[in-house]
Amino acid sequence: MRRWNGWGDDSTESHLGKDTLEYLQQRLGSGIVPQDAKLTSVLASIPPSSLPPNPLIKTDELTRLRYSRGQSMSDWIELRGGTGITFTDGVAFPENEAEISDLYEYARHTGASLIPYGGGTSVAGHINPLLGGEPVLTVAMERMSRLLCLDHDSRLATFGAGIAGPDLEAELRAHGYTLGHYPQSFEYSTLGGWIATRSSGQQSLGYGRIERLFAGGNVETPAGSLELPSFPASAAGPDLREIVLGSEGRIGIITKATVRVVPVPPVETFLAVFFKEWERGFEAVRKIVQAGLPLTMLRYSTPVETETTLALAGRRNIIAPIERYLDLRGAGAQKCMLIMGFKGSRALVQIGKREALALAHRNGGVYLGTLFGKQWHKNRFKTPYLRNSLWEAGYAVDTVETATVWEKIPQMVDSIECALKEAAMVEGEKLHVFTHLSHLYPYGSSVYTTYVFRVANTPEKTLERWQRMKKAASLAIVNGGGTISHQHGVGADHLPYLEAEKGKLGLEGIRAIIRQFDPEGLLNPGKLVL
Least separation in angstroms between CB 237 and a second copy: 4
Report residue 491: phi and psi, to 5°: 55, -140
Residues numbered 290-309 forming contacts with a second copy, rule: CB under 8 A: 290-294
Task: Single out the residue of 198, 256, 299, 335 in contact with a second copy (rule: CB under 8 A).
Answer: 198
From CA 315, how far away is CA 22, in angstroms rounded? 15
| Closer Cβ to a second copy, 268 or 460, answer by number | 268
Return the residue of 348, 371, 418, 475 that touches a second copy, per CB under 8 A.
348
Element (H, E) at 453: strand 444-454
Whether 106 is catalytic is no
Cβ neighbours of 481 (radius 10 Å): 15
Contacting residue, 214, 342, 434, 517, with a second copy by CB under 8 A = 517
The 3-state DSSP class for residue 260 equals strand
Task: Using CB atoms within 10 Å of the CB of residue 264, give its burial: 0 to 12 exposed, 13 to 18 middle, 19+ buried.
Answer: middle
Instruction: Say how many residues touch a second copy, by CB under 8 A.
Output: 92
> Is 324 annotated as ligand-binding?
no
**203 is an interface residue for a second copy by CB under 8 A:** no
Which range binds a second copy by CB under 8 A, 8-16, 167-175, 414-422, 499-507?
499-507
Cβ at position 429, least distance to a second copy in Å: 29
Separation in Å, CA 122 to CA 75, 76, 111, 166, 435: 10, 12, 25, 17, 21
Is residue 156 within the footprint of a second copy (CB under 8 A)? yes
Q: Determine whether the annotation assigns residue 120 to a binding site.
A: yes
Site string for a second copy, 394-433 (x = CB under 8 A): ---------xxxxx--------------------------
Instruction: Flag whether 251 is marked binding.
Output: yes
CB of 179 to a second copy, least distance (A): 13
Contact call for residues 439 and 491 (beta carbons, < 8 A): no
Q: 58 or 155: whose CB is closer to a second copy? A: 155
CB neighbours (10 Å) of residue 496? 15
Q: Examine residue 268 and tell whether it contacts a second copy (CB under 8 A).
A: no
The stretch near a second copy (CB under 8 A) out of 80-88, 135-143, 207-215, 421-429 is 207-215
Report the C-alpha gap between 493 and 438 in whole angstroms.
22
To which H or E segment does residue 270 belong? Answer: strand 267-275
Residue in 106, 300, 448, 497 annotated catalytic: 448
Binds a second copy by CB under 8 A, chosen from 111, 321, 503, 521: 503
DSSP count for the chain of H helices, then E strands: 19, 19
Largest CA distance in the chain: 72
d(CA 504, CA 164): 35
The 3-state DSSP class for residue 329 equals coil
* Positions in 210-229 near a second copy (CB under 8 A): 211, 215, 221, 223-229
Residue 482 in marked binding region:
no
Within 439-478, the residues that bind a second copy by CB under 8 A are 439, 441-446
Active-site residue list: 448
Q: Residues annotated as binding site for FAD?
A: 116-122, 197-200, 248-254
